[in-house]
Amino acid sequence: MHPKQFRVQIYAYKYRADFVITSLDGPIDIENSIVDKLGQGDIKWEYLGEMMDPKVNRITYEEVIDGGDDATSTRPLQEEKRS
């Protein structure tokens, strides 16, 4: 397996972080890469203020497609289908 790039967005405690990690395509590998990146301390946190609910904490990630030989790079992610 080749490592892939993932965009990670974290919303927690009225702050937001957005960064890219490189990891194998498995949940444990992605989680370990996120923890490693957080441990480096070079992530810039953006203050969101009171507009976000402080009781809701989210971490999302998505694969970064850079035009390589990925299955989704040759077609749009959303397609219109007709019967």
The DSSP secondary structure of 42-56, one letter per residue, reads: -PPPEE-GGGS-TT-
Q: What is the pLDDT of residue 1?
A: 73
Q: What is the pTM of this model?
A: 0.57
pLDDT in tens, 16-54: 889 988 888 888 888 889 888 888 888 888 887 765 566
Q: Is the dihedral of CA 13, 34, 62, 44 positive or negative?
A: positive
> What are residue 10's phi and psi, to 5 degrees?
-120, 130
Burial 2-28 (b: 16+ CB within 10 A, else e): eebebebebbeeeeebeeebebeeeee
Statement: residue 74 has pLDDT above 80: no
